[in-house]
Amino acid sequence: MSRFETVIGIEVHVELSTNTKMFCGCSNRFGAPPNTNTCPVCLGLPGSLPVVNEQAVRDAMKIGIALNCEVARSCLFHRKNYFYPDMPKDFQISQYDEPICFGGYLDVEGGRVGITRAHMEEDTGKSTHIGEGGRIHDATHSLIDYNRAGVPLIEIVSEPDITGPAHARAYATELRNVLRSLSVSDVKMEEGSMRCDANISLREPGGEFGTKVEIKNMNSLRSLQKALEYEEARQAELLESGKSVTQETRHWNEADGETHSMRSKEEAFDYRYFPEPDLVPQAPPLSLIEEIRSSMPELPASRRARLAEDWALTDQQIFTLTSVDGLLDLVSDAVERGTDPVTATNWATGDVLAKLKTDGVDADQSGLNGHKLADLCELVANGTLSTKLAKQVLITVMETGKGPGEVVEEEGLAQVSDESELAAIAEKIVNDNPGEAERYRAGEEKLLGFFVGQAMKATRGKGNPQALNELFRSKLSE
Ligand SMILES: [Zn+2]
């Protein structure tokens, strides 16, 4: 540990999943052939005029309200000017000193993080550099896809309240959970629909802010934490050895696990912000703000509190249920059908999750649903299946989508609980093993396991172990 205090602020860009782009009617669908979702507005052709997407404004307010922000009664779009081929207009329409949402916070593990602002802007086109390494430096030529130009973005800027790499990851994780619960974006970091840039500096405890470095290109929550850990150590080493940190932008390289200098402060852009003359100020009426506020979905924090209280789950279980897509829905549906919440959760966070990970699929892509999970739990509760057999049935259900009852019938897996059937088996085993029976009667009680084991073998794992335990105990004391 170094003697310095770490100060981190994070900027998150979220692509909204609206039907159309921010300022034109082009489709906002990901994955279309290059340059097919374009028009004069998003290509910046002379004479074209932008029109604000109402759904994007609603989504922006929704995000602000979820992050405890104040929603501005009036806000403005600005032009952020810079020359780069991915921005055909040579400026990006963004918000500057009058954002739509400001002054909020988000409570996360490790402490509250202030939200400076959440503002609306448009995305740029996507450049692909052709050549070794995929970087611009060693490219022979570059391709540009303007399908992404003009896609609605919300930029969420945090206060420098984040105290370390783990805290940063907790913040980004909870932010992603909140955004997902609002259904405004698919928040996939690996596809770029949620992108994090981090500012990090070190200072003497309680002292003035140190020189900050901006890190870009983290494509997962894990790499966000790793990049910050690397940068924290790099800066501490510089300062410890009497050197100073250069204010610059650094690029995280997943392959070598290091950050590399991209550009220094001297090359920083002057964006010459000025109000966008083609758009009037946005002034959402109070009634609209209230309408959105009253129709907010349940947010992750209150959902977790409810689960802890209603279902008596551990923090770890709640964390898993709420951070894996579809898992909570699965358990909720099973509970609605009468399954005990703890039982359903144990299945979901145990065998179900393990199988999903093995197969690399989401919960809604597997053959299991809440109804089938409830049926499976019922088959265990009524003694038809042992836990071991139920695990086997679960795998088949998840792979084939068949109902648990159907699988049990087809594969003849039902547990044998029939007293007379088991009694006959027990009788035979005791008769076949007189030596062991003698020793048990003489006090070697742990031999009970041997007899039950023999019976399980005879029933090919389908004997009810509890019933067999009792049977042997009474038979051997005769
Ligand atoms: Zn367009």
pLDDT for 350-382, tens place per residue? Answer: 999 999 999 888 888 889 999 999 999 999 998
Identify the sign of the CA torsion 14, 19, 23, 26: positive
Q: Which region among 149-163, 175-189, 288-302, 382-396 has the lowest average model confidence (pLDDT)? A: 382-396
Q: Which region among 4-13, 142-151, 348-357, 439-448 has the lowest average model confidence (pLDDT)? A: 439-448
pLDDT digits (tens, 9 = 90+) for 419-428: 778 888 888 9
The rounded distance, in Å, linking the Cα atoms of 17 and 25 is: 14
H/E stretch holding 336 reads helix 327-336
Residue 137 above 60 pLDDT?
yes
- CB-CB contact of 38 with 191 (8 Å): no
pLDDT computed for residue 190 by the predictor: 84
Q: What is the CA(155)–ligand 1 centre distance, in A? A: 21
Q: What is the CA(281)–ligand 1 centre distance, in A? A: 21
Q: What is the CA(257)–ligand 1 centre distance, in A? A: 38
Query: Between these two residues, 206 and 50, which has the higher pLDDT value?
Result: 50
pLDDT digits (tens, 9 = 90+) for 25-59: 999 998 899 999 999 999 999 999 999 999 999 99
Q: What is the CA(26)–ligand 1 centre distance, in A? A: 4
Residue 383 above 90 pLDDT?
no
Q: What is the CA(180)–ligand 1 centre distance, in A? A: 26
Residue 290 above 80 pLDDT?
yes
Q: What is the CA(220)–ligand 1 centre distance, in A? A: 29
Q: What is the CA(385)–ligand 1 centre distance, in A? A: 58
Query: Between these two residues, 64 and 324, which has the higher pLDDT value?
Result: 64
Q: What is the CA(20)–ligand 1 centre distance, in A? A: 8
Q: What is the CA(157)–ligand 1 centre distance, in A? A: 27
The residues pairing with 75 across neighbouring beta strands, listed in sequence order, are 282
Residue 268 above 70 pLDDT?
no
Please, what is the average pLDDT of the chain?
A: 91
What is the Cβ-side half-sphere exposure of residue 132, based on CA atoms within 13 angstroms? Answer: 1
pLDDT computed for residue 267 by the predictor: 57
What is the Cβ-side half-sphere exposure of residue 144, based on CA atoms within 13 angstroms? Answer: 11
Q: What is the CA(25)–ligand 1 centre distance, in A? A: 6
Q: Boundaries of CATH 1.10.10.410 in the chain?
A: 419-476
Q: What is the CA(52)–ligand 1 centre distance, in A? A: 12
Q: What is the CA(436)–ligand 1 centre distance, in A? A: 83
Q: What is the CA(40)–ligand 1 centre distance, in A? A: 6
pLDDT computed for residue 139 by the predictor: 84
pLDDT computed for residue 77 by the predictor: 97
Residue 265 above 70 pLDDT?
no
pLDDT computed for residue 49 by the predictor: 96
Q: How confident is the model at residue 160 (pLDDT cuts 50, 70, 90)?
A: very high
φ/ψ bin of 83: left (φ > 0), alpha (ψ from -120 to 50), beta (otherwise): beta
pLDDT computed for residue 106 by the predictor: 97
Q: What is the CA(354)–ligand 1 centre distance, in A? A: 43
- Enter the CATH code of domain 419-476: 1.10.10.410
Residue 266 above 80 pLDDT?
no
Residue identified by tokens 């770490």 is 6
Strands 111-122 and 126-130: unpaired
Average pLDDT over residues 5-26: 97
pLDDT computed for residue 216 by the predictor: 93
Q: What is the CA(187)–ligand 1 centre distance, in A? A: 23
Q: How confident is the model at residue 395 (pLDDT cuts 50, 70, 90)?
A: very high
